[in-house]
Structure 1
Amino acid sequence: MLLAKQISITYFLKLIKWDVLAIFLYACLVGALDYLTFFKDLTIPLSVSAMVGTLLSLLLAFRTAQSYERWWEARVIWGAIVNDSRTLIRQLIQFLPNHDKKSTYIKEFATRQTIWCYALAESLRKCPSSEKVDQYIAQLGTDSNNRPNLLLSAHAEQLRALSDQYNLNANKQVQLDNSIQRLTDSMGKCERIKNTVFPRAYSVLIHFLIYVLTTIFPFGLDDHHWAIEICLATIIPVLFIAIERTAILMQDPFENKPTDTPMTTLAETIERNLMEMAHMPIPAPKSKQATFYIM
């Protein structure tokens, strides 16, 4: 996730550098050809460019709003995961009867829930599993293509065993089951966002209109000074390109990029909270990196 107080302009410029270069070269070419008789007499009313720009602005506004909605939904889902993880352990502390093994069971759930958060983040980002997750899965003696779902199933199996062992009250069983269900729902929502591709045709249309505007805009400008014409013919289309690229960055919040939902940071927060609740050693927070984002 990008940090509000420390955003790298260089990172963003690298994403649009080829578009900026193409637009600038085209503006220079039109500015040079404008001195030829044919191109000097060729004019396109500025109202045509204004009409294309208005249409493009409407499409970009819709695109940006939809992309931000996907990004914000992902952040809300992970906020719910933080709350539900704490709630699950707190319910176990409250509902399980005092017994010699109570603290052991709570530690098992806290550890498994922590691993679930890391496994879900790695699954969504399609990145290699961390050593911490691999070691825990090896201890389970079984593996799955969907590790987060496997860990939630382990939660459910142990809850069933504890319910039989301690004959838990039905209301307590329902509350514990609801916590597992909410975690399952959050996982499913994340997978829906990850696997739902934003319509490609919409992106192609916007990009096509940007280059249509780039093509016709210089012919509607006054030719009093070639430098001003080149600057305007470059800056205006680049602004649209920048808005479009911003929408593209936000529409996929689980792609292991600086604009991602900070799942790793949230998982570390969950780990510290759960370890504290289970009276286990709390891992030291990682030193802050001098970067413009957190993951």
Structure 2
Amino acid sequence: MFLKRRYSVKDMFIWSRGETIIFILYAGLITVLYEVFDFTFLNVPWTPVALIGTAVAFMVGFQNNAAYDRIWEARKIWGAIVNTSRTWGMKVQDMVNNDHAEKPMDQAVLKEHKRVLIYRHIAWMTALRYAMRQPKRWETSHMSKTNREWTNMLHIPEKISKLEDNLMLYLSPEEEAYVLSKSNKQTAILYLQSKHIGELKRKGVIWSFAFLELENVLEELFTHQGKSERIKNFPYPRQYASLAYYLVKLFVFLLPFGIVPEFAEIASEIVPNHPIIGKYFIWLAIPFCACVSWAFHIMERMARVGENPFEGIVNDVPISTISRGIEIDLRQMLDELEDEIPGQFPEDQNAQM
């Protein structure tokens, strides 16, 4: 997703406002029990709390690195799709010709073959992006209220229109029926591409070397498709994600029991010289606990929402925007009129997918 403005710490607080309020109330409850009701037994030695915090930091750091690697790999894959798509358009334009044909083909028919090959490639990108947006049972970001709020700011074409309504724009009715009958529709489209250029080779419109070059491009597209499907279909290992999630909860639960007594001890040392400050110093444990709890929670949550880069949330790779950009480039290469070429997907509330 491309965002038209940078998201600040304020936005992150809004995104996690529910948890932030809970952290403040929880720290406040422990402080009141300790200071007002004299529940001084609510005391956990700071050393084990700090050790758990260290373990949590390592675990959450590992999860964030892994999640970012998945996002960055997905972005590289779709960047490669951009380059290979442009290569496909260039080679179709230059290699489908009558230079080696025994019976030259009419230029209008030749131009139509080029159009079909390029439109079919746009259909492949369309089928692939729809496949990447299909929900998986481990994709749970939509279950969070604030995640849904951010998602509603996005324009996600795959959630607005159906695949078949888009494929009909690029495929013949027979080809569309064939593709929709297959479980892996993007693979079926590449099979049609290979069959088509094979027929053109037999007619002499594509000579042998050009045929091999075009087949190599199709092989690259299969490779990019497989890599993208691998990220989509293989989730971040749940044992790591679950362990980080529960360790953060344990740390947040224990934190006030370690911090509040520490602040009470500091307050007792301050009282002789600064009685007013010392009297109220313990209450600073509330914002301190809330800040530390929020920091660990937000790191874990950022990793959680970044695990699946095609889910359709704020941190996703903008595959819809990328696909439409490639379509615009390819159709301009066909010298289509400007008003015949679709524009980029509309922006909605400063964001687009």
Question: Do the structures match in fold with TM over 0.5?
Answer: yes
Larger CA deviation: 64-73 vs 193-202: 193-202
Larger CA deviation: 253-262 vs 129-138: 129-138
Shift of 1:251: 1.2
Please name the residue that 2:334 is paired with.
278
Match of 1:111 among 107, 119, 139: 119
- Alignment of 1:269 with 2:303, yes or no, is no
- Name stretches of at least 5 consecutive residues in structure 1 with no aligned partner: none
Please name the residue that 1:249 is paired with.
305
Shift of 1:77: 0.7
Shift of 1:21: 3.4
- Counterpart contact for 2:119–2:171, Cα < 8 Å: no
1:1-295 matches, cutoff 5 A: 1-3=1-3, 5-7=5-7, 12-13=12-13, 15-35=15-35, 39-98=39-98, 99=105, 100=107, 101-126=109-134, 127=158, 128-129=162-163, 131-136=165-170, 139=173, 140=175, 141-142=177-178, 143=180, 144-166=182-204, 168-221=206-259, 222-223=263-264, 224=267, 225-282=281-338, 283-286=341-344, 289=347, 291-295=349-353
C-alpha spacing 1:145/1:138, structure 2 compared with 1 (3 Å)? farther
Q: Which amino acid aligns with 1:196?
A: F
* 1:34 alignment partner, SS class: helix
Larger CA deviation: 245-254 vs 214-223: 214-223
CA deviations 1:38-84 (Å, max 9, x no partner) are 63244323232222111111111111111111101111111111111
Larger CA deviation: 125-134 vs 71-80: 125-134
**What is the CA–CA distance in structure 2 between the aligned matches of 1:55 and 1:4, rounded to whole Å?**
37
CA deviations 1:113-142 (Å, max 9, x no partner) are 112112211111025426222454562242
**What is the CA–CA distance in structure 1 between the aligned matches of 2:237 and 2:351, rounded to whole Å?**
28
- Counterpart contact for 1:67–1:250, Cα < 8 Å: yes
- Counterpart contact for 2:129–2:319, Cα < 8 Å: yes
C-alpha spacing 1:280/1:132, structure 2 compared with 1 (3 Å)? same
**What is the CA–CA distance in structure 2 between the aligned matches of 1:95 and 1:47, rounded to whole Å?**
71
RMSD, aligned CA? 2.3
Tell me the number of residue pairs that the alignment of Structure 1 and Structure 2 aligns: 295
Runs of 4+ in 1 over 4 A off after TM superposition: 8-15, 134-138
C-alpha spacing 1:285/1:167, structure 2 compared with 1 (3 Å)? closer
**What is the CA–CA distance in structure 2 between the aligned matches of 1:12 and 1:52, rounded to whole Å?**
25
Shift of 1:12: 4.4
Larger CA deviation: 130-139 vs 61-70: 130-139
* 1:5 alignment partner, SS class: coil
CA deviations 1:203-250 (Å, max 9, x no partner) are 221122212222222222212434311111111011111111111122
* 2:306 alignment partner, SS class: helix
Q: Which amino acid aligns with 1:116?
A: W
TM-score (norm: length of structure 2): 0.76
- Counterpart contact for 2:345–2:352, Cα < 8 Å: no
TM-score (norm: length of structure 1): 0.90
Q: Which amino acid aligns with 1:132?
A: N
* 1:214 alignment partner, SS class: helix
Larger CA deviation: 153-162 vs 219-228: 219-228
**What is the CA–CA distance in structure 1 between the aligned matches of 2:231 and 2:10, rounded to whole Å?**
28
**What is the CA–CA distance in structure 2 between the aligned matches of 1:10 and 1:291, rounded to whole Å?**
17
Shift of 1:37: 6.2
C-alpha spacing 1:281/1:11, structure 2 compared with 1 (3 Å)? farther
C-alpha spacing 1:130/1:68, structure 2 compared with 1 (3 Å)? farther
Return the index of the structure with the highest Cα Rg: 2
* 1:6 alignment partner, SS class: coil
**What is the CA–CA distance in structure 2 between the aligned matches of 1:256 and 1:138, rounded to whole Å?**
29
